[in-house]
């Protein structure tokens, strides 16, 4: 198996697709046509036009799989909130793959998950297998905008399959405004779908998560919640509780995309271990109900959490990436995939720290790097796949030497 990546920021969709595909071909040492394309792009590009442009370079019969991203990165380029396109060309060289696709997320994420789980079961997935899972994070079918949720999607997969495998992936978003996006499924261009990409057993996906957060407080408890809305914390209205905790220096209008709650899935009083935490961001505030609206609905009554603060340096990245490279010694790394929360982008977060640059520096060309900025990230925490916020998920796909 071999991979090569390409990137473009050309605002002309046709030129962008052709440029990214041509760049990937020029840096590859494989003479024949590739077998598969992974493609991510911002909402500024037309999905049909972009796919046609890529296929005009790599061959019209090559399947394209992917979807919307708020930004993109490779080993030498990165950007977000613009016209970014990134892709990986894959030469499978005997490796097989399956792409399971299920639609109608707007009718219920849990049922889509059940169908995916049954597809996994029919394909013979075992508990030690892994897969990439992507889904359309935006729902614009009603009067307003809401997010499709990963929590019920994962629950449905577990119900349909009988267990939850190691899943790594993202909720597709094409820009910070939550514009409608489309997905490429290999054969079609669709919306409101979930897709799972599985490779045959010789391909291993090793993963590390990088939050860049540490606990700022002790533990608090959600005492009432409805769906993604936290209504009470320690018996007090949630919004009032946070106002009393944070004081006037952080007004409620600044809570969205700032408040980060960490759920420790390890031992409560052991030394801090970043790998044990699942972090969630506040999406908005609900003044009418004195509540906090979160990105996911899994902070139910009884959930203990800590308020987290964001790191002021990037020194947590190198040891995690290096450890992952050490774990695949004796195998050939094929592709590094970096799924990064769009909220961590420096211009959006209001700081000078671009973790994309640090990831590139650490990878240092050892393997082709394909990165995308997402709305929600998915990765195993303490052996169980969970939705995450304010997280960078770094993966290495490898095969035997």
Q: Is a pLDDT exceeding 90 seen at residue 311?
A: no
As a whole number, mean pLDDT of residues 209-231 equals 96
What's residue 126's pLDDT?
A: 95
The residue among 340, 234, 248, 233 whose CA lies nearest residue 282 is 233
- Spatial CB neighbours of 369, under 8 Å, sequence gap ≥ 6: 5, 73, 74, 75, 335, 336, 338, 359, 360, 363
- For 214, which DSSP code? E
- Spatial CB neighbours of 23, under 8 Å, sequence gap ≥ 6: 5, 6, 7, 8
- Spatial CB neighbours of 384, under 8 Å, sequence gap ≥ 6: 164, 265
User: At 392, which helix (H) or strand (E)?
Assistant: strand 392-400
As a whole number, mean pLDDT of residues 30-40 equals 94
The residue among 386, 379, 390 whose CA lies nearest residue 298 is 386
What's residue 210's pLDDT?
A: 94
What CA–CA distances, in Å, run from 216 to 14, 114, 299, 306?
Answer: 47, 38, 18, 7
Q: Is a pLDDT exceeding 90 seen at residue 138?
A: yes
What's residue 215's pLDDT?
A: 96
318-347 pLDDT, tens digit each: 999 999 999 999 999 999 999 999 999 999
> Residue 373 — pLDDT band, cuts 50, 70, 90?
very high
Q: Is a pLDDT exceeding 80 seen at residue 4?
A: yes
The residue among 275, 352, 367 whose CA lies nearest residue 316 is 275
What CA–CA distances, in Å, run from 368 to 198, 247, 398?
Answer: 19, 46, 12
The CATH class of 214-310 is mainly beta
> Residue 353 — pLDDT band, cuts 50, 70, 90?
confident
What's residue 319's pLDDT?
A: 96
What's residue 86's pLDDT?
A: 98
Q: Is a pLDDT exceeding 80 seen at residue 143?
A: no
As a whole number, mean pLDDT of residues 35-42 equals 98
Q: Is the separation of the CB atoms in 129 and 164 below 8 Å? A: no
Q: Is the separation of the CB atoms in 132 and 196 below 8 Å? A: yes
57-101 pLDDT, tens digit each: 999 999 999 999 999 999 999 999 999 999 999 999 999 999 999
Share of the chain above pLDDT 70, in %: 100
Sheet of strand 85-91, all strands in order from the earlier edge strand to the far edge: 2-8, 85-91, 36-41, 64-68, 183-185, 189-190
Q: Is a pLDDT exceeding 80 seen at residue 190?
A: yes
150-172 pLDDT, tens digit each: 999 999 999 999 999 999 999 99
- For 198, which DSSP code? E
The residue among 217, 265, 264 whose CA lies nearest residue 242 is 217
Q: Is a pLDDT exceeding 90 seen at residue 312?
A: no
The label of the residue with tokens 């990546």 reads 5
Q: Is a pLDDT exceeding 90 seen at residue 309?
A: yes
Q: Is the separation of the CB atoms in 18 and 54 below 8 Å? A: yes
Share of the chain above pLDDT 90, in %: 93
- Spatial CB neighbours of 315, under 8 Å, sequence gap ≥ 6: none
User: Which string of DSSP letters, residue by residue, matches 241-293?
Assistant: HHHHHH-TTS-GGG-TTT-EEEEE-S-TTSPP-GGGEEEEEEEEEEGGGTEEE
User: At 135, which helix (H) or strand (E)?
Assistant: strand 130-136
256-294 pLDDT, tens digit each: 989 999 999 999 989 999 999 999 999 999 999 999 999
Q: What share of the chain is helix, strand, coil (3-state, %, to 5)?
A: 25, 40, 35
What's residue 142's pLDDT?
A: 74
Supply φ then ψ for residue 318, to 5 degrees: -55, -50
Taking the C-alpha atoms of residue 64 and residue 187, their distance in angstroms, rounded to an integer, is: 8
What's residue 32's pLDDT?
A: 84
Which residues in the chain are classed under CATH 2.40.30?
Answer: 214-310
- If DSSP codes are grouped into helix, strand and coil, which group holds residue 28? coil
104-135 pLDDT, tens digit each: 999 999 999 999 999 999 999 999 999 999 99
> pTM for the full model?
0.96
> Residue 351 — pLDDT band, cuts 50, 70, 90?
confident
- Spatial CB neighbours of 370, under 8 Å, sequence gap ≥ 6: 3, 5, 38, 40, 74, 86, 87, 88, 335, 336, 337, 338
What's residue 58's pLDDT?
A: 97
Q: Is a pLDDT exceeding 80 seen at residue 144?
A: no
The size of the chain, in residues, is: 401
Taking the C-alpha atoms of residue 142 and residue 145, their distance in angstroms, rounded to an integer, is: 7
- Spatial CB neighbours of 100, under 8 Å, sequence gap ≥ 6: 116, 119, 120, 123, 195, 196, 198
């Amino acid at each position: 198996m071999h991979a090569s990546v390409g990137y473009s920021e050309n605002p002309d969709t046709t030129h962008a697709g052709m440029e990214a595909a041509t760049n990937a071909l020029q840096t590859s040492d494989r003479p024949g046509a590739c077998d598969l394309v992974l493609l991510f792009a911002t909402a500024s590009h037309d999905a049909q036009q972009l796919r046609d442009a890529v296929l005009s370079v790599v061959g019209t019969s090559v399947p394209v799989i992917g979807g919307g991203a708020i930004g993109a990165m490779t080993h030498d380029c990165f950007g977000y909130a613009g016209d970014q396109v990134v892709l990986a060309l894959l030469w499978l060289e005997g490796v097989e793959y399956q792409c399971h696709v299920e639609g109608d997320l707007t009718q219920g994420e849990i049922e889509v998950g059940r169908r995916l789980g049954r597809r996994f079961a029919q394909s013979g997935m075992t508990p030690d297998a892994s897969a990439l899972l992507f889904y359309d994070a935006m729902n614009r079918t009603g009067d307003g905008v809401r997010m499709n949720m990963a929590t019920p999607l994962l629950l449905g997969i577990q119900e349909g399959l009988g267990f939850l495998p190691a899943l790594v992936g993202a909720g597709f978003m094409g820009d910070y405004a939550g514009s409608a996006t489309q997905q490429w499924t290999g054969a079609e261009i669709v919306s409101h779908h979930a897709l799972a990409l599985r490779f045959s057993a010789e391909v291993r996906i090793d993963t590390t998560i990088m939050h860049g957060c540490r606990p700022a407080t002790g533990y608090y408890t959600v005492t009432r919640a409805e769906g993604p809305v936290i209504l009470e914390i320690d018996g007090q209205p949630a919004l009032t509780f946070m106002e009393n905790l944070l004081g006037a220096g952080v007004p409620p209008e600044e809570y969205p995309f700032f408040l980060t709650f960490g759920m420790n899935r390890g031992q409560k009083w052991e030394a801090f271990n970043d790998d044990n935490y699942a972090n969630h961001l506040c999406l908005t505030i609900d003044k009418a109900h004195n509540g906090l609206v979160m990105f996911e609905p899994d902070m139910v009554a009884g959930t203990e959490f800590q308020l987290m603060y964001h790191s002021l340096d990037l020194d947590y990245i190198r040891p995690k990436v290096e450890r992952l490279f050490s774990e695949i010694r004796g195998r050939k790394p094929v592709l590094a995939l970096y799924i990064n929360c769009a909220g961590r982008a420096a211009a959006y977060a209001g700081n000078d720290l671009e973790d994309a640059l640090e990831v590139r520096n650490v990878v240092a060309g050892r393997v082709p790097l394909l990165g995308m900025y997402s709305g929600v990230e998915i990765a195993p925490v303490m052996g169980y796949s969970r939705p995450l916020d304010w997280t960078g998920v770094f993966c290495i796909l490898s095969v035997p030497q």
